[in-house]
Amino acid sequence: MNAVEFDADNPCPVYILRGGDAYLKDVVIKKLKGVIPVDLVDMNYLRYEEDASVSEIVSNADAFSFSGEKKVVVYRPPKSGKISDDDKNRLAEYVKNPCETTVLVLDDDNSVLKFLDKYAEIVSAASPGEAFVVRWVNNLFLRDGFSIERQAAETLVRHCNFDMMRIGVESEKLKNYAETKNIRALDVAECVAPDTEMQVFELTNYLAKKDNKNSLRIYNILLNRGESPAFLLSVIVSQFRRIMHAMLSDLSDAELSAVFKVKEYPITAARRLSANFTKLRVKKIVDKLIECEYLFKSGAVNEKAALELSFAYMLAV
């Protein structure tokens, strides 16, 4: 089941929520909270983060609510996957025989609780495709009496790297900023800072085209924003690895996004960027980037020198 289509009528006793989109997760949890009477939400909605006691979670989930109304319990397990065998057994015993007045939501992005999948309803909170998100953006503006040009909507989505939570925040900013009720691409460019990963895509594109001027321009924008050279180098290495896999793999964009544990758009963009390279050139660049990372991590050069060395190589090869 997809979070976009999620319906909280007659909720299941146990849901496993997976996917990295915070907005869609929030949508699912808000719908489930909606089954609790307003005056009982403070009592019947319980949320536990990764350091919580599994014994306490199971005990509260297994207890009937005093009111007889639904109770919603949300638990996010440790990202590390470190759950004791005893705690796994406690969760499994509960999930196999859940309390009829409780809805247990396991926020399990990293598949730490994969062993419970066959006992629960799986809800995907993975970010949907670009076409869907652009339509959703249009509706965000229309409901408040605004319109947004298609190019502006696409730019907003990409600047926010498909993060629907951030898109919602930036949309409100645009409504307050705009001089007219029609949002243009220029409004988005002036008001919304591009996500770092999306700007690194742009930087990679200029490097691929050996466009030194624009490569330097984007590089300085990222540095002035406070991004560290070490971080930028790691993102560029990741992007070129995706480009290489996009060139060599028979997997679809959706399948590759699952392999890399990223949204689908970075894979689509990597496949598009791959048209600028030969397989040999990409292999040489990836090898050189890894070498530059090693030079920095081993202390042979500082992080900025390692990054600039990688740029010099990409522009030359």
Neighbouring C-beta atoms of residue 283, cutoff 10 Å? 15
Which element (helix H / strand E) includes 75?
Answer: strand 71-75
Q: Check whether 183 has a pLDDT greater than 90.
A: yes
Q: Where are the domains of the chain?
A: 3-124, 130-191, 196-316
- Cα separation, 136 vs 142, in Å, equals 10
Question: 31: closest CA among 52, 12, 56?
Answer: 12
- What average pLDDT does this structure show over 285-308? 91
pLDDT per position as a tens digit, 36-70: 988 888 889 999 988 889 999 999 999 987 777 89
pLDDT of residue 74: 95
Largest separation between any pair of C-alpha atoms in the chain = 71
- What average pLDDT does this structure show over 168-173? 90
- pTM of the full predicted structure? 0.59
Who wins on pLDDT, 141 or 314? 141
What CATH number was assigned to the domain covering residues 130-191?
1.10.8.60
pLDDT of residue 61: 93
What CATH number was assigned to the domain covering residues 3-124?
3.40.50.300
Residue length of the chain: 317
Burial 124-152 (b: 16+ CB within 10 A, else e): bbbbbebeebbebbbebbeeeebebbeeb
Which residues, in sequence order, are bridge partners of residue 16? 106, 122
pLDDT of residue 8: 87
CATH 3.10.20.440 fits 196-316, yes or no: no
- What average pLDDT does this structure show over 84-101? 93
pLDDT per position as a tens digit, 97-141: 999 999 999 998 888 899 999 999 999 887 777 788 898 899 989
- Cα separation, 235 vs 227, in Å, equals 11
Residue 50 contacts residue 76 (beta carbons within 8 Å): yes
pLDDT of residue 123: 92
